[in-house]
Each structure stands twice: as C-alpha cells, then as structure tokens.
Chain A
C-alpha cells in the first residue's frame, strides 16, 4: 500500500470507567473509501471525533499525511482541519444562517472568499447535490430531512476537502432518499478524488459507498477487508451483523423477559 492518508495506531479513549476505544489500528490509503460498521454505542462516532481532534484520545497515534496530529497547537490543528470535510449525522446546519450561507461558511469565514463569489460557489455545490438555486435563501428549518442532508453534504464538499467523513449518512431517511444520498456520496468522493471514512449500520449503504469495510466491536476493529469479502469473512461477528440476527456471538444489553 502507498503511504496511508490516515493512520491510527493503538488509539484508546475512555469516558470515566467506560472504555469506548481499546486500541484501534487502521490505515486508509489516499482515494480509498473506508466504511466502519458496528452496532449503536460501539464508539463509531467517537472514532471519527478523535481523528478530527474534537475529542482527545487517551493513548495512541493518529497521523494524517504522515503528520502526527496529537498535541498540535491550535494553529496547526486549524491547518490540518482545512483538509477535512465532515457530514454530521443530524446535518448540524447552522439554523441562524440561510442555506447558501451555510454552504459558503467555510469559504467565507475560513478562506476569506468575498461573499458574492462564495455565493456562486454555494449555488454550484448545491447543484452538485441536486438542489436548485431557489432554495438558497431559505433557512434549514424550512427544508425536509433529505434536503437538509444534501445541504449538509454540499457544505462538507464546499472547500473541496482531501478527506471527507460521513457520520451515519443515511440514518433517518427513507430507502429511496438513502440511495440518492449514497449515489451523491460516491459521486462527490470520486470527483474530488478524496479519501473517505464513513460510519454506518446500514449495510446497503456500506456496500454501495465503501471500497473496504471494517467492523468495530467492543472498542476494536475485529475485521477489515474489501467489500467483496464481506459475505465470506469467516468471522461470526461480521456474519451476525450483516445479516441482522439477534442470535450470535454479539450479545445485546437487553434483559430476557
């Protein structure tokens, strides 16, 4: 493998007594789309937030383009952050700003682009996710869930990031809209040539957007492999998860009636 875009070694993170990540080892090559699957509460979001620096991991190394990101100064952190785009689970659109201002936020506030030029960029990015210019003056609360997700995607790609993270991109959408989002993700990642990490428990989405899949269970990546291998992984945990069986080695924390 060429030198990895993102490289994690022995990353751990605990919240009080609860050990969420217990030694993550992960390499993502440039231009690769990695999907991390796993049940709710297994630390998928924590993993992304550690890489982004929104949470501080307790131990281990996180390298982006070979550069260690732990313990960076605020200024260096901002420089690294410039490479990233992130699609949040709930969209996380700024509800006090109009749609175009949301999409143009990065270009205007961080890159100092003049507002009228940024507006053109925003309209173009909205077009790329299938939204017309007529919605650009609306507020996010006036849009449907699927449209909000698309605006959030437009915002994540507005600065043409080298690395994009997707946090449960299809959760809460109907199957058709979910597939539309999947198509848009595939299209935008490949047109930018970006490296992507997605977390999801939607297997249809994982198969569509991923080149490789990793399964997170009890704070470790217990299996990694190409998407094609997911159906014959030989791993009982993976089999149980992708077929959605209640019975198997993964025990849910539910009391027996």
Chain B
C-alpha cells in the first residue's frame, strides 16, 4: 500500500515541477520576444481596451459593494468599543492594500483570463497559430507579448479606480446609514492613509495583471484536441491564475509590510 502512495506522490511532485519549468520557459520567451521589435501597437491597444475598459463595470460593482459591506461590518465590530471613528481608516486601508487588488484580480482572471485562453486555444486547434508562423509572424510577439504588456499596464489603473469606487461605497454607507458627518468621514479616510498602502496595492495589481495574462496565454497556447481541450485550457487558466494571485498576494504583502 505504501509504494503506490509514494509513487503517486512522486509523480505529482514531478508533474508540479515540470509545470513550473514550462511556465517559466514560456514567460521567459514571451518577455524576450516582447522586448525586441516589431511591436504590435494595435494589438496592445486592443488588449488594453479588452482588459481595462470592458472590465470596468464588473470591477466597479465589486468595489462599491465591497466598500459598503466593509463599512457595515466594521461598524458592528467597532461600535462595541466606541471606536467608530476608525471605520473610514479600516475601509480605505483594507481596500487599497488587499481587497482592491485581490478582488479586481480575481474578477479579471475570470473575465479576461478565460476569454484569452479560449481565444488562443481556438487559434491553436484551428491551426491559426501555425498560420501566423507561416506568414513570418512570431506568435509570441503578435499574440502573447501584447497581452502581457496590456495586463501589466492596465490592472494598476483598474485597481486605482476600484480603490476610489470602494471608498465611495464605504462613504455612502457611513454617511447615509451610520450617520457619519461627511466631512469627518473623508478627513478620517485621508488622514491615516499612507502612500505605501496605495503603492503596495498597485504593485500587486501589476503582478496580478502579468499572472492573469500569462496563465491565459500559456494554457491557450498549449491546448490540444478540439473543443474539449479548449474548455480544459479555459478552466486551467482561471484556476491557476486565481491560486497564483492569492499566493503572490501573501508574499508581496510580506515584502512590503513584514518587519
């Protein structure tokens, strides 16, 4: 009984290490090719629209309700200690440091990562990627690099907007439901906010943007065998991006704030 268990464990470890290796090689090749001309500016702009502009509604809704529920929940806690004045601060720090980047990242992973894997996966199984090569166009330069660049550039902007909308959500609940004075709420929000809170969140956003687009491209690029393969690639892209976001989130937080 022990041998099969160890065998399975060994196989899983090997498969895991192999996956890390092939993702790293893929990322390295994408970065190297992306840094050399030609640059496909139209592709980058198209992806910025796709990742940023079209994600605004879903990210905005996520942010406003998160800000609202944060204010409400922290009120029930802080009211017991008569510490209601800390609520604006809790809302803005939680949003800028953690919830803004993580929730926006997860929403974009579901929306954009999946679409990317499906699009590139379909191009793979219908030989469109081979066709690019026969037309002397490097698929890494034309398909992968523009998506990575757009992800890294766009996610921080998206998160900054999410931060602002989230604070607005907290403000609305604070002022109209919890009877805060509106000027005092805003003063409490800004007084305790440090630059590092916002910057760490934006750094996270840039990293998440890279991870989401990398996973979308990687799984799409490697998909095999028709509709089923593309479906599997889509699932893998979303799941792996989500897990990577949560993992990297911890380590970036530690790098910024651990003493």
Task: Say how far A141's CB is from chain B's closest CB, in angstroms.
Answer: 11
Task: Say how far B222's CB is from chain A's closest CB, in angstroms.
Answer: 15
Task: Say how far A77's CB is from chain B's closest CB, in angstroms.
Answer: 9
Q: B122: nearest residue on chain A (CB-CB)?
A: A95
Interface segment, one of B19-27, B123-131, B153-161: B123-131
Interface bits B106-146 vs A (CB < 8 Å: 1, else 0): 00000000000001001100111011011111100010000
Binding site for B on A (CB under 8 A): 49, 52-54, 74, 78, 81-82, 84-86, 88-90, 92-96, 105-106, 109-110, 155, 159
Chain B stretch 176-215: residues in CB contact (< 8 A) with chain A: none
Contact yes or no, A92 B128, CB < 8 A: yes
Which residues of chain A come closer than 8 Å to B135, judged between CB atoms?
105-106, 109-110, 155, 159
Task: Say how far A67's CB is from chain B's closest CB, in angstroms.
Answer: 16
Contact yes or no, A92 B131, CB < 8 A: yes
CA distance A9 to B185 in the complex (A): 79
Which residues of chain A come closer than 8 Å to B119, judged between CB atoms?
96
Which residues of chain B come closer than 8 Å to A92, judged between CB atoms?
126-128, 130-131
Which residues of chain B come closer than 8 Å to A89, judged between CB atoms?
127
Task: Say how far B106's CB is from chain A's closest CB, in angstroms.
Answer: 26
Contact yes or no, A105 B134, CB < 8 A: no
| Chain B interface category by residue count | 10 to 19
Which residues of chain A come closer than 8 Å to B126, judged between CB atoms?
90, 92
Task: Say how far A196's CB is from chain B's closest CB, in angstroms.
Answer: 14
CA distance A257 to B222 in the complex (A): 38
Contact yes or no, B127 A81, CB < 8 A: no
Contact yes or no, B138 A81, CB < 8 A: no
Which residues of chain B come closer than 8 Å to A81, judged between CB atoms?
133-134, 136
Which residues of chain A come closer than 8 Å to B127, judged between CB atoms?
88-90, 92
Which residues of chain A come closer than 8 Å to B138, judged between CB atoms?
74, 78
Contact yes or no, B130 A110, CB < 8 A: no
Q: B134: nearest residue on chain A (CB-CB)?
A: A86
CA distance A69 to B211 in the complex (A): 35
Q: A94: nearest residue on chain B (CB-CB)?
A: B128
Given A92-B126, A109-B142, the answer on whether A86 and B136 have CB atoms closer than 8 Å is no
Q: A78: nearest residue on chain B (CB-CB)?
A: B136
CA distance A53 to B142 in the complex (A): 18
Task: Say how far A88's CB is from chain B's closest CB, in angstroms.
Answer: 5
Q: B33: nearest residue on chain A (CB-CB)?
A: A74
Which residues of chain B come closer than 8 Å to A96, judged between CB atoms?
119
Q: Which residue of the partner chain, among B38, B40, B133, contacts A52 with CB atoms under 8 Å?
A: B133
Q: Which residue of the partner chain, among A88, A105, A109, contacts B130 with CB atoms under 8 Å?
A: A88
* Contacts A54-B130, A109-B38 supplied; 13 other A-B pairs, CB < 8 Å: A52-B133, A54-B134, A82-B136, A86-B130, A88-B127, A88-B130, A90-B126, A92-B128, A92-B130, A92-B131, A106-B135, A106-B137, A155-B135
Q: Which residue of the partner chain, among A54, A85, A93, A105, contacts B133 with CB atoms under 8 Å?
A: A54
CA distance A107 to B138 in the complex (A): 15
Interface bits B2-21 vs A (CB < 8 Å: 1, else 0): 00000000000000000000
Q: Which residue of the partner chain, among B38, B122, B123, B137, contacts A105 with CB atoms under 8 Å?
A: B137
Given A92-B126, A109-B142, the answer on whether A84 and B131 have CB atoms closer than 8 Å is no
Which residues of chain A come closer than 8 Å to B134, judged between CB atoms?
52, 54, 81, 84-86
Q: B140: nearest residue on chain A (CB-CB)?
A: A74
Q: A165: nearest residue on chain B (CB-CB)?
A: B134
Q: B130: nearest residue on chain A (CB-CB)?
A: A54
Closest 7 CB pairs of A and B: A110-B136, A92-B127, A92-B131, A106-B135, A86-B134, A88-B127, A81-B136
Chain B stretch 35-61: residues in CB contact (< 8 A) with chain A: 38, 40
Which residues of chain B come closer than 8 Å to A90, judged between CB atoms?
126-127
CA distance A52 to B107 in the complex (A): 40
Which residues of chain B come closer than 8 Å to A82, judged between CB atoms?
136
CA distance A54 to B139 in the complex (A): 12
Q: Which residue of the partner chain, among B38, B40, B131, contacts A94 with CB atoms under 8 Å?
A: B131
Contact yes or no, A86 B137, CB < 8 A: no
CA distance A159 to B137 in the complex (A): 13
CA distance A52 to B134 in the complex (A): 8
Task: Say how far A83's CB is from chain B's closest CB, in angstroms.
Answer: 10
CA distance A81 to B131 in the complex (A): 11
Which residues of chain A come closer than 8 Å to B40, judged between CB atoms?
109
Contact yes or no, B136 A88, CB < 8 A: no
Which residues of chain A come closer than 8 Å to B131, judged between CB atoms?
86, 88, 92-94
The interface centre, meaning the residue of B40, B123, B134 with most chain A CB atoms within 10 A of its CB, is: B134
Q: What are 26 A-B pairs with beta-carbon distances under 8 A? A: A52-B130, A52-B134, A54-B134, A74-B138, A78-B136, A78-B138, A86-B134, A88-B127, A90-B126, A92-B127, A92-B130, A92-B131, A93-B128, A94-B123, A94-B131, A95-B122, A95-B128, A105-B135, A106-B135, A106-B136, A106-B137, A109-B40, A109-B137, A110-B135, A110-B137, A159-B135
